[in-house]
Chain A
């Protein structure tokens, strides 16, 4: 990522913490298999056969597995407007997840998916901050029993 390198040089700073911040923001946190934030434009697609009003649709998410599939399924099923949500990995040698969403009709499947993603992000934020608090509190043993 030459752009990031240039930014850092432009700032005229070469201290380590800054180098760290810059990298964390742009990619480490990525951890994704996509490199340098280059995200596959087909990462998520709507599969053919969605209902016309958009209340029922299937999505195909590439390079994801049970990790995202099941977590997302749970969050979407928590939505009272959703009638059905399920996921499957159609073939073990294709890195892709199919996600099916059917709503009762008040929202579209896309809205349900977006709410599911937002809720999952909120959940992650809370778990992270709680766990960090717990680590900082230091109320634990530092030897393995």
Chain B
């Protein structure tokens, strides 16, 4: 049982038609006699992080004891400022497919590539004299051709049976290492997902093109964003007020929440089993019998992050990079001497 009375000021109240106690108040001078000045040791004491699950492509973790301005900075950086590699220049040697060159180039740009961006440098797009080198440009090649399958059984209508190479998938893309790139990328550079459909061909059509991939950030173009989603929510709180809810009332109370949020103990009393699973639908607030019997809220300093990677990096790497980037931004500003 969580005692909410002690952390009330950290609970954002949720009522049927409004939210209350929304802003952070942990600033010096807000509460008389309390010290809320920045204290690293105190922060270290309060801060906790916990990972719920972590796979190659998705991750959920908690950051507890940080302000929303900090958590939001990490979220924003993950989406818009963590650099990744993507196709930027497409040199089309031949394209007789029905997909126009510019549409094809756009589709190629959006394919997530699995490559460690740490090994690459920025391609200086705004410098007209800049020459691409193995340090900043990755060359990929795509060539696909469709032919008739002479062995197709008569009467078949499936293009996959009738033709060879009717569908062009991302797995066809070939990495062409330049300079020392074969040392830096011993596993090569390939699309994170080999099954991305790039184009469909018919016999006689072919695509032959070279792609130059460069580093970029999501702010410039979404294709450079390493995440499919990066979001957070605040941990929900549910507080039952007054005498225990029992019998039919308890059953009804339970049914107001998603499965697993409210349980009923051996005495038939409803209790909050796992508030984390709550979607905060506020269904319970619609019923007059629960008026004044329940308080919904969210913990202001408990962030549940959900990060889904596009495949370029693992989600934990993306988060760590976002933290490093925020620090780097500070370092850059710190270098300036404003006192003159």
Contacts and interface: CB of A to CB of B under 8 A. Distances in A.
B299 to A, nearest CB: 18
Contacts of A127: 47, 49, 63, 66, 323
Q: SS class of chain B's interface: helix, strand, loop or mixed?
A: mixed
B30 to A, nearest CB: 10
Interface stretch (B93-101, B262-270, B281-289, B313-321): B313-321
Given A121-B330, A143-B53, A128 B324 contact: yes
Contacts of B66: 123, 127
Interface residues of B, number: 72
Contacts of B183: 14-16, 19
B58 interface: yes
Contact of B326 (A79, A120, A140): A120
B51 interface: yes
B331 interface: yes
Q: SS class of chain A's interface: helix, strand, loop or mixed?
A: helix
B290 to A, nearest CB: 29
Contact of A61 (B120, B321, B333, B334): B333
Interface in A17-69: 19-20, 23-24, 26-36, 39, 43-44, 46, 59, 61, 64-68
B51 A139 contact: yes
Contacts of B43: 123, 126
Nearest to B308: A144
B37 interface: yes
Interface of A: 1, 5, 14-16, 19-20, 23-24, 26-36, 39, 43-44, 46, 59, 61, 64-68, 70-75, 77-80, 110, 113-114, 117-128, 130-132, 134-135, 139-145
12 contacts: A23-B120, A79-B28, A79-B38, A80-B35, A80-B37, A117-B334, A124-B327, A128-B323, A128-B324, A135-B316, A140-B53, A144-B53
Given A36-B121, A64-B329, A134-B50, 9 more contacts: A26-B121, A27-B121, A28-B120, A31-B82, A32-B332, A36-B122, A66-B76, A128-B324, A145-B52
